[in-house]
Amino acid sequence: MKLRPILGYTAAGATVLAAMLTPFLLYGFFANRFTALPLQVDEVYSGGPKVRAVQKGAYSIDIHRPVHPHFLQSEKPFVELDWTPVSALPQHVSDMVDIDGNGQPDVRVSFDVPSDPKAPMRVDVEPLNPRYQAMHNVGKERFSRLIARVDNTILVRVPLANP
């Protein structure tokens, strides 16, 4: 028997073996290798990493690193602020937030906290620093300009003004 058929049958046998090993070994092996890659979900969705937390009594405000969308992405640059836990928030929130950590407040964020977690929310953002854009009665317009409740967090994404 020639070499090529031997290699062909060997590969075919290995393929059958691979099929048998898929649920026990291969699938997990590939999934783990993929997880270990230095990849991250686009920050337009995830909001970017948290850089600081400001304690406000029973709740805290987590401040994320500003997100700058890529090339032709339709979103604008923004910064995400998280109020958590929702259960500790008053019915109406109006906080001045120092986003860049220089000791001066950058925005005043105001919103009502409905008791129904699925109720639509609206936010007002008054910029105290020209780097940030105002938002008036904004709901979920786009990923770079919204207020949303995700689990036990209310997050507000404030668009950055054009440089």
Q: Verify binding: residue 85, other proteins, rule CB under 8 A.
A: no
By beta-carbon proximity to other proteins, the closer residue of 41 and 92 is: 41
Phi, psi of 30 (to 5 degrees): -65, -40
Q: Which of residues 20-59 bind other proteins (CB under 8 A)?
A: 20, 22-23, 26-35, 38-47
Q: What DSSP assignment string belongs to 120-138?
A: ---EEEEESSTTB--EEEE
Least distance between other proteins and beta carbon 61 (Å): 17
First to last CA, the chain: 73
Alpha-carbon span 114 to 86, nearest angstrom: 10
Tell me how far the alpha carbon of residue 133 is from its chain's centroid: 20
Q: Verify binding: residue 137, other proteins, rule CB under 8 A.
A: no
By beta-carbon proximity to other proteins, the closer residue of 12 and 58 is: 12
| Residues of the shown chain interacting with other proteins in the complex, contacts defined by CB under 8 A | 4-9, 11-13, 15-16, 18-20, 22-23, 26-35, 38-47, 69-74, 140, 143, 146, 148-151, 155
